[in-house]
Chains A and B, each alone.
Chain A
Amino acid sequence: MINAEPSGPAQAQQISGDDDVVRVRQLVRAAAVATRLSLVDQTKLVTAASELARNTLVHGGGGRAEVQQVTNGRRNGLRVRFVDEGPGIPDVDRAFADGYSTGGGLGLGLSGSRRLMDEFELITEVGVGTSVTAVKWER
Chain B
Amino acid sequence: MDRVPVLALGDVLLVSIQVDLEDQLALALQEDLSDRIVSTGAHGVIIDITALDIVDSFVGRMLATIAAVSKVLDAETVVVGMRPAVAITLVELGLPLRGIRTALNVELGLKLLRQTRLQPFAESPADGRGGPADDAPAALDVS
Q: Which A residues lie at the B interface, using CB under 8 A?
A: 18-19, 21-22, 25-26, 29, 39-40, 42-44, 46-47, 50-51, 54, 98, 105-106, 108-109, 111-113, 115-116
Contacts and interface: CB of A to CB of B under 8 A. Distances in A.
A105 B61 contact: yes
A44 B87 CA distance: 10
Contacts of A18: 22-24
B9 to A, nearest CB: 29
Contacts of A105: 57-58, 61
B22 A22 contact: yes
B10 to A, nearest CB: 34
Contacts of B21: 22
B89 A40 contact: yes
Contacts of A106: 57, 60-61, 95
Contact of B86 (A43, A51, A108): A43
B35 interface: no
A22 B24 CA distance: 11
A106 B96 CA distance: 12
Contacts of B56: 47, 50-51, 54
Contacts of B84: 40
Contacts of B20: 22, 25-26
B57 A109 contact: yes
Contact of B95 (A19, A39, A44, A112): A112
Contacts of A40: 84-85, 88-89
B95 A29 contact: no
B138 interface: no
Interface of B: 20-24, 53-58, 60-61, 83-86, 88-89, 92-95
Contacts of B57: 51, 105-106, 108-109, 112
Most A Cβ at <10 Å: residue of B54, B56, B83: B56
Contacts of A51: 56-57, 93
A116 B22 contact: no
Given A42-B85, A115-B94, 19 more contacts: A19-B22, A21-B23, A22-B21, A25-B54, A43-B53, A43-B86, A44-B89, A44-B92, A47-B55, A51-B57, A54-B23, A105-B57, A106-B57, A106-B61, A108-B57, A112-B93, A113-B93, A115-B92, A116-B92
A18 B1 CA distance: 13
Contacts of A112: 57, 92-95
A62 to B, nearest CB: 14
A19 B92 CA distance: 25
A115 B88 contact: no
Nearest to A109: B57
